[in-house]
Amino acid sequence: MMQDYSINQFLAIAGTPNLDIEICDVTMRDGEQMPGVVFSPDEKLDIALRLDEIGVDVIEAGFPVVSTAEMIAVREVCNLGLNAKISALSRSVKRDVDAALDCGVDMVCVFIATSELHLKHKLRMSCPEAIKCALDTVEYAKDHGLIVRFSAEDATRTDLETLKKLYKKAEEYHADYVSVADTVGIMNPRTMYYLISEIKKVVTIPICMHCHDDMGLALANTLSGAEAGAYQLHTTVNGIGERAGNTPLEELLVSLRLQYNIDQYDLSKLKDVSRLIESYSGVSVPKNKAIVGSNAFAHESGIHVAAVLEEPRTYELFSPEMVGAARHIIIGKHTGAKALRYITQRMGYRLKDNELIVLAEKVKMCSELKRPINCEELRKLILGMENVDIIYPGP
């Protein structure tokens, strides 16, 4: 029997760690902090429903203290009665926790910046002052019955010993999670693994990974943190978020499925939720975006199309159906006769081999317009040829 290398022979050699994880999606909070993005309360309800259908464990629905509309939206998300826990963001001030409590959230993220840079230039506080604010707020939120995630903003530029002491203190104050925010995306997989391993030495509560993509490493860093033992992994749909954004939900879930055998999430809804966020946020998904870009399962080159038509796995790591997408065979400069046979048959024409060669030449000439040719243009080219055998009138 032929060896199946279709997924990854190296996983067997390098080993697959058993990850124990949950997903916290922050599209409606960090995603909404992307310049120009605003979700209406109705849109937030829709987004929350879709995330819940996928099986996301925690949904960060917003930052309630920001506005009345935000409070209404977060409250309505809470009232949906979803399986996911609903969380809200709160600075380390009681007023923010009160706003979250008013919405009826299950969980709150109490955050404060801890790096010298942020303390000096943003908060204008000493480190002990910031720690006091954070711990008082954690205590207040716990006293009011909330699940508390304590997040050190800019954790990855904070002195390690200070960070470890702070997380240990947060645990003593009964925080339920501690969160490592790679706020400006400074880490790489190696440094993230080290950092999470160090934090695990001092706390027993679950650790969260909140990675930004400033160097394009958010997904890799999230996975590396999870390998080192982090439990709650943060994502946004399409990777939207501050600056270069956050770890994309769709990329993380597919990687968890294919590389770590985690199958508790419904991947078949990923393309739909991506379209939804594209429309509500107004942020277009790049064509070549992994998993959900329009080119993720598109093939044009003659060599690729011929192979994909024979056996899709030649150029598709996984089937488009797995993520609710579809395969597209594109007609263009690189399209060969084999691909044209497949496409023209589906359009209702049966072309002989020599006709396909002529058609391929015509397509090449047209594609000098620097764009793929659509089916209508292809039909005109076919009808311009003599004696083409029409099987049935195409669509």
The residues in 143-202 that bind ligand HCA, with binding defined as CB under 6 A, are 151, 153, 179, 181, 183
In the complex with ligand HCA, the residue whose CB is nearer, 154 or 355, is 154
* Dihedral sign (CA 250, 253, 258, 263): negative
Beta pairing class for 232-235 and 22-25:
parallel
Binding mask 201-230 for ligand HCA (x = CB under 6 A): ---------x-x------------------
User: Does the protein bind ligand HCA through residue 30 (CB under 6 A)?
Assistant: yes
The backbone torsions φ and ψ at residue 81, rounded to the nearest 5 degrees and listed phi first, read 65, 45
Are 243 and 214 in contact, with CB atoms under 8 Å apart?
yes
**Cβ at position 249, least distance to ligand HCA in Å:** 15
CA atoms of 119 and 394, how far apart (whole Å): 67
Number of residues that bind ligand HCA (CB under 6 A): 11
**Cβ at position 185, least distance to ligand HCA in Å:** 9
Angle between helices 94-103 and 68-79 (to 10 degrees): 50
In the complex with ligand HCA, the residue whose CB is nearer, 30 or 171, is 30
In the complex with ligand HCA, the residue whose CB is nearer, 232 or 274, is 232
In the complex with ligand HCA, the residue whose CB is nearer, 151 or 344, is 151
Binding mask 264-283 for ligand HCA (x = CB under 6 A): --------------------
In the complex with ligand HCA, the residue whose CB is nearer, 49 or 186, is 186
**Cβ at position 90, least distance to ligand HCA in Å:** 10
State the residue for tokens 């991506």: 274
In the complex with ligand HCA, the residue whose CB is nearer, 183 or 255, is 183
CA atoms of 322 and 291, how far apart (whole Å): 10
**Cβ at position 33, least distance to ligand HCA in Å:** 6
CA atoms of 208 and 152, how far apart (whole Å): 11
Half-sphere exposure of 150 (CA within 13 A, CB side): 32
**Cβ at position 179, least distance to ligand HCA in Å:** 4
**Cβ at position 182, least distance to ligand HCA in Å:** 8
- Residue 209: closest CA among 22, 16, 56: 22
Are 22 and 232 in contact, with CB atoms under 8 Å apart?
yes
Q: Which member of 109, 233, 240, 267 binds ligand HCA (CB under 6 A)?
A: 109
In the complex with ligand HCA, the residue whose CB is nearer, 90 or 367, is 90
Burial class (CB in 10 A: 0-12, 13-18, 19+), 192: buried
In the complex with ligand HCA, the residue whose CB is nearer, 184 or 388, is 184
3-state secondary structure 136-177: HHHHHHHHCCCEEEEEEECHHHCCHHHHHHHHHHHHHCCCCE
**Cβ at position 29, least distance to ligand HCA in Å:** 8
**Cβ at position 210, least distance to ligand HCA in Å:** 4
Q: How large is the greatest C-alpha to C-alpha distance in the chain, in angstroms?
A: 85
Q: Which residues are paired to 211 by β-bridges?
A: 182
> Footprint of ligand HCA on this chain (CB under 6 A)?
30, 33, 109, 111, 151, 153, 179, 181, 183, 210, 212
